[in-house]
Amino acid sequence: MQAVVFDLDGVLTDTADYHFKAWKNLAASIGIQIDHTFNEQLKGISRMDSLERILEYGGRSNDFTLIEREQLAEQKNEEYRLLIASITPRELLPGIASFLRELKDEGLKIGLASASKNGSSILERLHIADNFDTIVDPAKLSKGKPDPEIFRTAADQLNLLPSECAGIEDAVAGIQSINGAGIFSVGVGVPPEAKADWNVNATAELTLGELMAHFKAKK
Ligand code: G6P
Ligand code: MG
């Protein structure tokens, strides 16, 4: 194994809750109520695709023009950006700082495969941007998760084969994307149906030793 490719929201930091808050308020402003159960479906899904799912859930798919939908997505993003403005390194999820250090010490490459267009600025705020050898630009992708494109692109950008990488995700769509790319998948708190190669309950369980052992066992 030569690289680990990370999802951001829900793996490096708990922005998943900020996304939920911002979507909940946006949905409520157009008469749609969403809860945590529905929110699970939005994890890993791009901004516009998330909006489409919310409109469909509320039976309002045909009520807005493309321009209006873009404005709604922008409204959500404005609230989200206010929520993430005060993120500090303290909001790194447990174990992530030491795990990143272990990877660096062992000379492994580190990549980011997040659907978020706010990804780079969040890495800066968490003070971990320097650890990343590559960041996939989600604006350049033709398909979002669960399509494998984003994780395959991360491996390409690192000049590695998918079989030389591991990917870490907290969303079912993300695990499907990693598996489809032919990368070893690690699920953080994802249901077993997602079929991750290795499941942990929380980021605190991530160590290079454990990851290597599971990675080798699959070969
Ligand atoms: C991640 C999150 C999603 C979010 C998406 C786009 O994948 O899990 O909840 O919708 O990024 O984020 P953005 O910051 O570009 O709106
Ligand atoms: Mg995530």
26-51 residue pLDDT tens: 999 999 999 999 999 999 999 999 99
Other beta carbons less than 10 A from residue 150's beta carbon = 28
Same fold, 3-14+89-218 and 16-84: no
Q: In the numeric block, which tokens belong to residue 218? A: 């699959």
Q: Which residue has the tokens 């320097």?
A: 130
Choose which CATH entry (3.40.47.10, 3.40.720.10, 3.90.550.10, 3.40.50.1000) describes domain 3-14+89-218. Answer: 3.40.50.1000
What local confidence, expressed as pLDDT, does residue 85 receive?
95
User: Annotation-wise, does 145 bind a ligand?
Assistant: yes
50 Cβ contact partners less than 8 Å away, ≥ 6 residues apart: 23, 42
Distance CA 111, CA 165 (A): 10
Q: Is 7 an active-site residue?
A: yes
75-93 residue pLDDT tens: 999 999 999 999 999 999 9
Distance CA 137, CA 200 (A): 27
3-state secondary structure string across 51-106: HHHHHHHCCCCCCCCHHHHHHHHHHHHHHHHHHHCCCCHHHECCCHHHHHHHHHHC
Q: Which stretches of the chain score pLDDT less than 50?
A: none
CATH classification (class only), 16-84: mainly alpha
Distance CA 94, CA 109 (A): 21
Q: Which residue has the tokens 């398909």?
A: 143
Other beta carbons less than 10 A from residue 58's beta carbon = 15
What local confidence, expressed as pLDDT, does residue 16 receive?
86
Q: Which ligand is nearest to the CA of 170?
A: 2
74 Cβ contact partners less than 8 Å away, ≥ 6 residues apart: none
Mutate to test the pocket of ligand 1, among 5, 6, 8, 9 (most ligand atoms within 8 A of CB): 9
Please state the atom number of ligand 1 nearest to the C-alpha of residue 44.
Answer: 7
Size of the chain in residues: 219
What local confidence, expressed as pLDDT, does residue 64 receive?
98
Atom 12 of ligand 1: nearest residue by CA position: 116
- Rounded distance from Cα 36 to ligand 2 centre (Å): 15
Ligand 1 within 6 A of CB of 114: yes
Distance CA 21, CA 25 (A): 6
Phi and psi angles of residue 3, each rounded to the nearest 5 degrees, phi first: -155, 155
Please state the atom number of ligand 1 nearest to the C-alpha of residue 145.
Answer: 7
Q: What is the ipTM of this complex?
A: 0.98
Atom 9 of ligand 1: nearest residue by CA position: 43
Q: Which residue has the tokens 């978020």?
A: 116
Q: Is 9 an active-site residue?
A: yes
Q: Where are the domains of the chain?
A: 3-14+89-218, 16-84
Ligand 1 within 6 A of CB of 120: no
Q: How far is CA 197 from CA 110, 123, 133, 184, in A?
A: 19, 26, 24, 6
Which DSSP category does 188 fall into?
A: E
